A and B are shown apart, each in its own frame.
Chain A
Amino acid sequence: MTVMIDTGNYIAAKAAVMAKPDVVAAYPITPQTTTVEGIADYVATGEYKGKYICVESEHSAMTACIGASEAGSRTFTATSSHGLFLMHEMLHWAALARLPIVMCNINRVAGPGWNIWADENDSISQRDTGWIQLYCSSNQEIFDTVIQSFKLAEDKNVVLPVMISYNAFILSHTSMPVEIPSQKEIDDYLPKFKAKWKLDTKNPVTHGNIIGTQYYEKVRKAMQNAQMNAKELIPKIALDWKKKFGTYHGGLLERYRCDDAEQILISMGAIGAESKAAIDELRKEGKKIGLARLRTFRPFPKEEIIKLGKQAELIVIDRNISIGSEGAVFNEIKSALFNKVDTKVTGFIAGLGGKDVPYTDIIKMCKKSIKSKAKDQIWYGFNEEGR
């Protein structure tokens, strides 16, 4: 075990290389750039021995990963915002083809206007592609989640691609100390990849042929089952990791001071980490409030949310908005509770376009919702003049 002090992106690169993917195909985009630069450095030093394919676009990056994965290779890529949007068609393909590709997505604003800061609308807009979506809130969590994601994606009952999201700059370009196990320990934890299916000249099959309606539905149902299996597996993988390596960030969600809470704040990503400071302050004031930080958005932890709803009133902060509806997490939470629990749920939109959401603002949001009746979503700190 060594301690490495580095930015979220370089930590992701380190984790990816330690997982020994056979193929990495990526195209640089701010704020993801240093992730792929980091991997390129490991190619130069000889630490990364797989194939590194420099492609001409993100669409090609994903198709290269799909091709390599179909040939039985462990694959990794990383992207951000517009790069992710360019991949969109192939994201569906990767999931429907049941390829355990692992990808980091560094959450960045969608343009126009051109803005490179943190906002979760990029990954949220890929919600229905079939990818497992995990959200991190520290560099240690990024390292652990990247390695665990290969385990999760390649599990025989899952076999789906995994997207690991973390906020631009707040995590991607901020250095933190991270405990790194030895390569031997990682090798023992993550054995060589054995594809569940592959294109193999010794056993020729066709993939992606014309398919009748009666079979297509079966493929979709199998993906849904695989996501449900992932929902059971994610907490087990996290606990197993804790036993082996000591670090733990929660299962499907991370509970923080929830035990006697009458209000529970739900947030994810960087706001999820910042929320802990807000909870500590509110607790000092005697407020019975806790935090449930979402780690998985797909599969959505419906059962856990119902448990929280039975215990407390819920406050939700979204750093995204599904235009024409409401914040994606707020929407999902209400849908999970419907017909099961009747509790007050207050939703906030905050931090869009990378606007800073300090713990002081989170405290204000919590206080506002403790006092008020249930309302439709509130745009916190919205200012027409843009101040």
Chain B
Amino acid sequence: MSKKQKKYDIVTTISYPKKGAMGKTGSWRTYEPQFDKDKCVKCLRCWIFCPEGAIIRKDDDSVEIDMDYCKGCGICANVCKVKAIKMERKGLKK
């Protein structure tokens, strides 16, 4: 956003857009995405579908998952055509 955010002079539950306005929501996760870079074809479907903006798109269209904010919903794993992402229960002993 180029223009400066206008703040309203009233006490009600208004929140202004900023990264991590609700704290590090990654701590809410039960399932964790396991990303296999070798399988990834850079289609960017995960980047499009992630509801939290937790898929980081790099200059060469490769992706990385921001684990500070990933809530573990698994949408990325579902939309991945090449199964480069799979969900695993957090803390599960292998």
Residues of A within 8 A of B (CB): 96-98, 159, 196-197, 202-211, 215, 218-219, 221-222
Interface size, chain B (Cβ < 8 Å) = 16
Report whether B17 and A219 are in contact in the complex, using a CB–CB cutoff of 8 Å.
no
Interface centre among A203, A207, A222 (most CB of B within 10 A): A203
> Across the interface, do A205 and B12 meet the contact criterion of CB distance under 8 Å?
no
Bound-complex Cα distance A218 to B8 (A)? 15
Complex Cα–Cα for A303 and B65 (A): 61
Q: Which of A209, A210, A222 interacts with B11 by CB under 8 Å?
A: A222
Number of inter-chain CB pairs below 8 Å: 51
**Pair B8/A196 contact, Cβ less than 8 Å:** yes
Please, which residues of chain A bring their CB within 8 A of the CB of B6? 203
* Neighbouring A residues of B5 by C-beta, 8 Å: 203
For the complex of A and B, 4 pairs with smallest distance between CB atoms: A222-B11, A197-B8, A98-B12, A206-B15
CB nearest neighbor in B for A95: B12
Are B9 and A206 closer than 8 Å at their CB atoms?
no
Cβ contacts under 8 Å, B22 to chain A: 209-210
Cα separation A211 to B1 with both chains bound (whole Å): 25
Cβ-defined partner of B15 (8 Å) among A196, A202, A205, A222: A205
- Contact between chains at A207 and B13 (CB < 8 Å): yes
Q: Scoring B residues 10 to 35 as 1 if CB is less than 8 Å from chain A, else 0, what string do you get? A: 11111111000110000000000000
Q: How far is the CB of B21 from chain A (nearest CB, A)?
A: 8
* Most-contacted residue by chain A among B1, B8, B17 (CB, 10 A): B8
A215 nearest in chain B by CB position: B13
Chain B residues near A97 (CB-CB < 8 A): 12-13
Could you tell me if B11 and A205 are in contact, using CB atoms closer than 8 angstroms?
A: no
Residues on A with beta carbons closer than 8 Å to the beta carbon of B21: 206, 209
Report the separation of the CA atoms of residues A211 and B10 in the bound assembly, to the nearest whole angstrom. Answer: 16
The answer to whether B13 touches A208, judged by C-beta atoms less than 8 angstroms apart, is: yes
Return chain B residues, CB-CB under 8 Å to A218.
11
Given the complex, which residues of B lie within 8 Å of A207, measured CB to CB? 12-15
Would you mind naming 10 contact pairs between A and B with Cβ atoms under 8 Å apart?
A: A97-B13, A98-B11, A197-B8, A203-B3, A205-B14, A205-B15, A209-B21, A209-B22, A210-B22, A219-B12
